[in-house]
Amino acid sequence: MFRLEHVDLGDVTVRVRHGGSGSPVVLLHGHPRTHTTWHAVARRLGEDFSVVTPDLRGYGESTLPPDEPDHAQSSKRAMAGDVVRLMDHLGHDRFAVVGHDRGALVAFRTAMDHPEAVSRLVVMDGLPLVEHLERTDERFARTWWHWWFLGQTEQPAERVICADPDAWYRTPDPAAMGEENHADVWRALRNPAVVHGMCEDYRAGLGIDRAHDEADRAAGRQVRCPMLLLQAARDDIDIHGDPVAIWRPWTAGGLEHRLIGSGHHQAEEAPDEVSAALRDFLS
């Protein structure tokens, strides 16, 4: 049985669904999803684990503090702090963290900033932000153009998106996504506050998040726990080359790699395969 609640963490209120029993694991969604993207995986993992699935701050029904000049309110460091405080509220002082897409950046930052709290790290289709930005070329800018559109501030993207979110966003139909997931995502995408929160996530990614990565690398800090990279076979996280080779200098606790037979949204497209991979690694 999973419970849905809103938890006041001080500067933000986080919507979270949690349940199951066993070792704790937190599942972090990416853009432009909410925690409901994990619906099929969470049910499967709940048989063996205590599963926690929050909305990231600014996404879904989680709130966002007022904007700061450097977008620090949407930094992955701030989001990682939310994860640790939420898990502490739920009675978990040490846990595994799994992140997909933008959630992968938060999961990575949680492991870097709070090594005492993170037992295992799973990154799904993600790299440290600095590794993307230092490799930016014409192909990356053309293919991942939304990073620059959402992240710039001269002509804020919110006005364009909110004018017609149904034309801007595309998702699979309810049968493919799951009806509750589909409805929840679309409620969020039609909410101007959520659109702003998502843009602020990308703005932080182009500035303060990169600075945090650069500082860690300069200081020689690495992920100290075991890490698993789940790579979608029909996605392009290898746009810069072998993602395992890019991740390896960042890891000190061991790095495993596994291909998932899906497109980008692994948890929705291949829940059985993702659940099996997570269960094997987390056990």
Matching residue, tokens 């309810």: 174
DSSP letters for 252-268: SS-EEEEEESSSS-HHH
CATH code (residue 74): 3.40.50.1820
- Domain ranges, residue 236: 2-282
pLDDT value at 213 more than 90: yes
Residues 210 and 153: their CA atoms lie apart, in Å, by 17
Q: Cβ of 254: how many Cβ atoms within 10 Å?
A: 12
Cβ-proximal residues to 200 (8 Å cutoff; 6+ apart), any chain: 58, 64, 67, 71, 73, 74
Mean pLDDT in residue range 205-226: 98
| Strand ranges across the sheet with 255-260 | 2-8, 13-20, 49-54, 23-28, 95-100, 118-124, 227-232, 255-260
Q: Tell me: the pLDDT tens digits for 42-88?
A: 999 999 999 999 999 999 999 999 999 999 999 999 999 999 999 99
pLDDT value at 1 more than 90: no
pLDDT value at 175 more than 90: yes
Count of structural domains within the chain: 1
**Cβ 202 vs Cβ 211: under 8 Å:** no
pLDDT value at 106 more than 90: yes
Q: Tell me: the pLDDT tens digits for 131-168?
A: 999 999 999 999 999 999 999 999 999 999 999 999 99
Q: Tell me: the pLDDT tens digits for 26-50?
A: 999 999 999 999 999 999 999 999 9
Residues 185 and 171: their CA atoms lie apart, in Å, by 9
CA count, 13 A, side-chain hemisphere, 1:
1
Q: Tell me: the pLDDT tens digits for 220-261?
A: 999 999 999 999 999 999 999 999 999 999 999 999 999 999
Q: Which pLDDT does position 77 carry in this prediction? A: 98
Burial class (CB in 10 A: 0-12, 13-18, 19+), 170: exposed
Q: Which pLDDT does position 150 carry in this prediction? A: 98
Q: Which residues are catalytic?
A: 101, 264
pTM reported for the whole predicted model: 0.98
Q: Which pLDDT does position 101 carry in this prediction? A: 98
Q: Alpha carbon of 92 to those of 21, 52, 97, 105, 192: distances in Å?
A: 12, 10, 12, 21, 33
Question: What secondary structure, in 3-state letters, does 128-152 show?
Answer: CHHHHHHCCCHHHHHHCCHHHHHHC
pLDDT over 90 percentage in the chain: 100
Residue among 75, 72, 78 at smallest CA distance from 9: 78
Residues 183 and 124: their CA atoms lie apart, in Å, by 24
